Structures are given as structure tokens and as C-alpha cells.
Amino acid sequence: MTAEYKVHGDVAVITLNNPPVNGLGHATRQGIVDGLERAQADAAVKAIVITGAGGAFSGGADIKEFGTDKALQEPNLHSVILAVENASKPVVAAIHTVCMGGGLELALGCHYRVAAPGTSVALPEVKLGILPGAGGTQRLPRVVGVEAALNMIVSGEPVKSELIGAVPGQKLFDKMAASPAALAEEALAFARSVADVRPLPLVRNLPCKHPEGDAYFQFARNMVKGMAKNFPAPAKCVDAVEAATRRKFADGLAYERELFINLMWTPESRALRHIFFSERAASKIPDVPSDTPQRIIQKVGVIGAGTMGGGITMNFLNAGIPVTILETKQEALDRGVATIRKNYEAQVKKGKLKEDKYQQRMALLSTTLAYGDLKDADLIIEAVFEEMGVKEAVFKQLDEVAKPGAILASNTSTLDVDQIAAFTKRPQDVVGMHFFSPANVMKLLEVVRGKQTAKDVLATVMAVAKKIKKTAVVSGVCDGFIGNRMIERYSQQAGFLLDEGCTPQQVDKAIEKFGFAMGPFRMGDLAGNDIGWAIRKRRAIEKPDMKYSKTADLLCELGRFGQKTGAGWYDYQAGKRDAIPSEVVNQMIEAHRKTLGVAPRKVSDEEIVQRLVFSLVNEGAKILEEGIASKSGDIDMVYLTGYGFPIHRGGPMHYATEVGLFNVVQAMKRFAANPMDDAKAWAPAPLLARLAAEGKSFQ
């Protein structure tokens, strides 16, 4: 039952009932049409109310149907809305909690709308790379005005019903209910009050004009051009709303529909829809049921007041959770607290944080030099030097002082979490929480699940991540976990490209044009080239046969660690971050090529992009096959939220699916044949080879 029908005296109520958000899938659409027919055939019914069961009026079209025949199958949303408009009896939408997308479009088709306060009202289609395709761009401007409507449509952001309801002259809501609890009764009473009013009012009959249309739409186009670089939808939203002001309603509607269908098939929309579902799926762990009991986290301890420790601390203070930071020396504590203050003060200065909020957050912070002061902490996160001996000392002390049931987390980015857990007598309570720098800004949190990590610990950490507004992705234990293990392959390729004939700026430009926020060399300069140097030295011992370009080592031998030393792959002027191509570096690369006996060749941008991205894909496939990541979407979320992978490409694994896995494998074979490259690294992961051969894609 996806739409229920009930008669209350002389009013029929159609209740959408398609959990979780009453998405307007095919069965629900059919249920609405059936309900309308029954109500019109029943002489005792004088008016009809449409509402939603549970926690939403409706979240809009069922996104799962997109790209399938069901999305457009009759009755499609247009036909449903037409049936509502053409009903012989008044139809009243009783809106509450969530009224979005197709849900709002359905409400706009109703003759009247009664809204509960607190309802989130939005046309968020643009966030899925489409535009409202069931009349939203034509009807919303008629009830809230052209500019307000276009703002909502282009941003996709929700607006609270009471704010709209308070705007003089708005025609979206005919009545605001006193409270959400009063909505059902008030909507019934309203329906009775208008039962005999004729003609029935239709939004489509309202005028839609902008007094200075030419100038306004030109301005709007310029605005979205700057905002929406890689996405076609926002500009189409402007076109559709402009059409509402210039064309007859039916023509505008047809135009909107054409734009909607075209956008639905764009790779950008497929990427955004993939991200929508992957983001939600990432929080679900296959063998940890959603009702797993959670531990209570009211107090947090952080070991280490350095850049990472300070950033991690800020996340919890921002969420209203008290933190005690521990350091070995008072000076280190003072420095750490001063940095936290500085960060908050910068936010206050920019007007992003109110002074009283800043003070409230600082009041939640305490410091200590004694492990004993962490005895009450429910969660303790270690962010000390990345060395196993140091971690051992910390975890042994934590094991002594932490209360039973406290979660002990390591922020390690590469070390073995199982080995760390073994330093304690409670490995079930140990987990990795790998934050990304700057930890108070970056969305990604890799939650590293040790062999013995308890399920309730995982469930708790995932919930904590949500509270501190992180995108948490679970990774199994391996060197580098999901993100850094893959980036090593990407960096390896970046190095080979220099040996073969590229400059750092050519590589960076090519991948930035593809959409990466920053190319590998600019990124290295930002993060510090010495970090990769230390890892390569470790690798040289662990995997002596691993092939890599020596240019990055030569760079570090010149002391060019990046922005922090004023020179890296690029030159930097004092106090500035602009990357200036470096003659010294270009000469160093050329000299190295000579020692290798390599004649430089011209490498195309296409080859640069493919080698960088497909190296991620191949390692990602191995990670998936080994069960380090449980879903390919998890790998995509890691890259989208932690490594600047372009959103409009949907993540490396999704991008590979778009290119076609067969094509990816063919390209990898070509790269493997290049004697300058690492043929072993290009051997397709067995999972990738199998899926490509079967014509399938990553799931």
C-alpha cells in the first residue's frame, strides 16, 4: 500500500505511504490517481486532502527510478498533477516535515495548500544535476515571485514554511497550521470551508512576469555561470524560469520537460545521483545492523595538541562535546590551544562565528599533562607522531587509565590498527579514526575497522561522525587504508610522467582541467613533499622491487619540501601561495632524464588523465576485492570528500563505469607496454578484469 484512501465524513484523505520519504514512485503515483477517481465518484465526498504518512509529505520523485523505464511510466508525475488540477472537487495539500521536488510540484498542482510550521520546502533537483521536471519551474514563480523562485530552484536549498508563509502576498500557502500536530484537523476543516467554492483556483492561471526580465535574467545567467562551472543544470534552471515569464503556461511546461529529460541523461546527473546514494550507503555497514546498540559519548579525550589534534578537537567543540587535550609538555599544550583560538577568531572576524558561540566552544575545552585526567572520557583519539613505538607507549597508558567501555581510537594514516589494538587488553574497543588535514575542515573520516573491533564500537563511531558532520567511510586494515593506498599509485604515475617528458605544471593543468581541485605537484607542495619522501624510504625497505621515479627524492634532497620551505615543485613568493613554474625544478627533471638516457616525448593531456585516474581505479578494484572497502561507492566517497576528485565525475570507480571497464582495461594494457612504466602495477586487478570481460560495472 503506497497511498492510502480514507473518508472522514465528507472529505476524502489520500495519504502517501511510501517510506522512508514518500517518494513518488510508480505505485504511489498510481495510488494518488486511484484515490482521486474514488473520491470523485463518491457523491458523499465534497473535498479531497492529500498528505503524507510518517516523516514527510513527500521527498519528491523516487530517485531510484531514474534511468529506468518506471520513471516516465504512466501515470507519470505530469499526468498525476493534471489529474489533481482537473479534479471536479477541491484538492488540498496538507504539507508537513519535508515537501521537496516532485512533492512540492504535486502540492503546487493542488487547488489549495495548508502547511505545518517547520516544513522544509525545496526544489532540490539541481543537486541531482536536473531541474524540477513536473511544473516546478513554471508554477513556483507564480506563487512566490520570479526572483524568490529562481533562488530556490538554482540553489536547491530548503526554506522553512513559516518563513515563506510570513512573506506578504505569497500565494504558496493558503493557510499555516498552528502546529504540526494540528495539521490534519486544520486541513480537514480548511477543505470543508472551500468545498463549495467554484471555480477551483489553479496556480497555472496566475500571472508570471518580471518587470525587468532582460536585465534580471542576464544577471542570473552570469551568476550561475560562475557558480556552476562543471554542471549544466543551473543554467537550464534559469532558461526554464525565464520561459515561465515569456511563454504560455503549456509551452513553458513542455519546454521544462524537454530540459528535464535531457539533463536526466547527462553524466553529471548520473554522478550526482550516484553520490546521493553512495553518501547514504557509506554509513551502513553490511554486518552491523542499524539497531546495534551504541555507547554513549559525552566526553572526549584527544592525545596530541599538534595540527591534527587541534583540528580533531575543534570538531567536537563545534558539536557541543567537551574535550580534554593531553600533551607531554605545557608549551605544546599552550601552542595547541592558541592555534585553536586563532582558528576560531579568524571565523569570528569573517562573520562566520558569533563571539558568544566561540566563547561557549572554548569553555568546553580543558587541557592536561596527566593521563589520569582522561579516566572519564568516553572516546579517546590519539593524534601523536606516526611511529609505532610512540603509538605503543600511548595505547599502553590509555589501557591503564581509560574506563571500561571507553573507545580508544588512533588517527594513524598508515599504521596497522590491529597491531595498535594488541598493545591493549581490550582490542575490541580499539578503532582507527583517520581524519584528514585540516581536520576541522575536511569532510572525510576513514573509520578503520580492526579484526577485533566490536560492532557497537563501529556503530558508535559512525554515529559520532554524523554528529561532527563528517562523511565516514569504513576501511579494513591495510597500509594506507583506502585513500592513501590508492594515492600512492597516482603519485607513482605522476613521477613517471615527469621522467617521460612532462613538466609538473603540464601534469597539474591536465588533471585540474579534468576537474581535480589540485594536481599532484601543487598538492605535494601544499601537504609537504617530505611526507612522501619518508614513506618512500620505508617502502624502499619493505618493497625493494617497487618501481618509482626518483625525481621526488631529488627534489627533497634540494630541501624543496613545498610551500612551508618557500619552494617545492614550484617556486613561491614570501607569504603567497601562487605556484610559479620553477626553472630549477625543470632543469633537475631534465638532468635526471639524461641520467636515465631518456629522450623526452610529448605526452597528451588525455594520457596524463587516464594514467592518473586509472591507476586509482586499479588499486580501488583490489581494495574492493580484498574487502578493505565493502562497496565501490565507499571508495568514491573517500576520493570525493578527501582527495578533491571532481564531483561531476562521481568518484574514480563511478568514472571508470562511465568510461566502460572494458575501455579502462584496454588503456591499462597500453600503459603496461610502456617500458618507462611499471607493467606490474598495470596488471588489471582480477575483479576489474572479470567485470570488464563480462561487460559489467562496479557495484
Which among 38, 30, 140 has a CA at the least distance from the CA of 79? Answer: 30
Among 11, 12, 77, 194, binds ligand 3H9 (CB under 6 A): 77
User: Is the peptide bond prior to 75 cis by the omega test (within 30 degrees of 0)?
Assistant: yes
Distance of CA 283 to the CA centre of its chain: 12
Among 16, 36, 128, 681, binds ligand 3H9 (CB under 6 A): 128
How many residues touch ligand 3H9 under the rule CB under 6 A: the total is 23
Residues 6+ apart with CB under 8 A from 408: 380, 382, 395, 398, 399, 402, 424, 426, 429, 430, 431
Interaction between residue 186 and ligand 3H9 (CB under 6 A): no
Mask of contacts with ligand 3H9, 291-330, x by CB under 6 A? ----------------------------------------
Interaction between residue 286 and ligand 3H9 (CB under 6 A): no
From the list 16-24, 110-118, 225-233, 521-529, the region that binds ligand 3H9 by CB under 6 A is 16-24
DSSP SS3 for 52:
strand
Q: How far is the CB of 670 from ligand 3H9 (least distance, A)?
A: 39
* Sign, Cα dihedral of 125, 131, 133, 137: positive
| Contact (CB, 8 A) for 10 and 45 | yes
Among 13, 14, 21, 121, binds ligand 3H9 (CB under 6 A): 21
**Active site (catalytic) residues:** 105, 125
From the list 17-25, 192-200, 315-323, 343-351, the region that binds ligand 3H9 by CB under 6 A is 17-25
Interaction between residue 98 and ligand 3H9 (CB under 6 A): yes
Among 105, 186, 416, 530, binds ligand 3H9 (CB under 6 A): 105
What is the crossing angle of helices 102-109 and 77-85, to 10°?
Answer: 20
| Contact (CB, 8 A) for 44 and 7 | yes
Q: Which residue is nearest to ligand 3H9 (CB)?
A: 101
Task: Report the C-alpha gap between 106 and 91 in whole angstroms.
Answer: 11
What are the two backbone dihedrals, phi and then psi, of residue 570, each rounded to the nearest 5 degrees? -120, 170
Task: Report the C-alpha gap between 434 and 12 in whole angstroms.
Answer: 54
Among 35, 136, 165, 304, binds ligand 3H9 (CB under 6 A): 136
Q: How far is the CB of 147 from ligand 3H9 (least distance, A)?
A: 20
Q: How far is the CB of 260 from ligand 3H9 (least distance, A)?
A: 6
Find where cell 522553512 sits.
Answer: 160
Among 31, 90, 109, 133, binds ligand 3H9 (CB under 6 A): 133
Mask of contacts with ligand 3H9, 43-62, x by CB under 6 A? ----------------xxxx
Interaction between residue 124 and ligand 3H9 (CB under 6 A): yes
Task: Report the C-alpha gap between 428 and 496 in whole angstroms.
Answer: 42
Which among 655, 627, 615, 642 has a CA at the least distance from the CA of 483? Answer: 642
Range 622-657 burial, b when 16+ CB lie within 10 A, else e: bbbeeebbbbbbbbbbbbbbbbbbbbbbbbbbbbbb
Q: How far is the CB of 75 from ligand 3H9 (least distance, A)?
A: 11
Interaction between residue 20 and ligand 3H9 (CB under 6 A): yes
DSSP SS3 for 49:
strand
The neighbour count for residue 445, using CB atoms within 10 Å, is 29
Interaction between residue 280 and ligand 3H9 (CB under 6 A): yes
Q: How far is the CB of 77 from ligand 3H9 (least distance, A)?
A: 4
* Amino acid type, 277: F
Interaction between residue 342 and ligand 3H9 (CB under 6 A): no
Count CA atoms closer than 13 A to 151's CA, side-chain side. Answer: 8
CB nearer ligand 3H9, residue 39 or residue 121: 121
Task: Report the C-alpha gap between 517 and 647 in whole angstroms.
Answer: 10
From the list 132-140, 179-187, 213-221, 266-274, the region that binds ligand 3H9 by CB under 6 A is 132-140
Interaction between residue 63 and ligand 3H9 (CB under 6 A): yes
Q: How far is the CB of 138 from ligand 3H9 (least distance, A)?
A: 12
From the list 124-132, 422-430, 597-605, 615-623, the region that binds ligand 3H9 by CB under 6 A is 124-132
Q: How far is the CB of 600 from ligand 3H9 (least distance, A)?
A: 49
Which among 419, 342, 343, 420 has a CA at the least distance from the CA of 381? Answer: 420
Interaction between residue 633 and ligand 3H9 (CB under 6 A): no
CB nearer ligand 3H9, residue 55 or residue 627: 55
Among 134, 208, 233, 321, binds ligand 3H9 (CB under 6 A): 134
Query: What single DSSP character describes residue 129?
Result: T
Which among 492, 613, 616 has a CA at the least distance from the CA of 548? Answer: 492
Mask of contacts with ligand 3H9, 603-632, x by CB under 6 A? ------------------------------
Q: Which residues bind ligand 3H9 (CB under 6 A)?
A: 20-21, 23, 59-64, 77, 98, 100-102, 105, 124-125, 128, 132-134, 136, 280
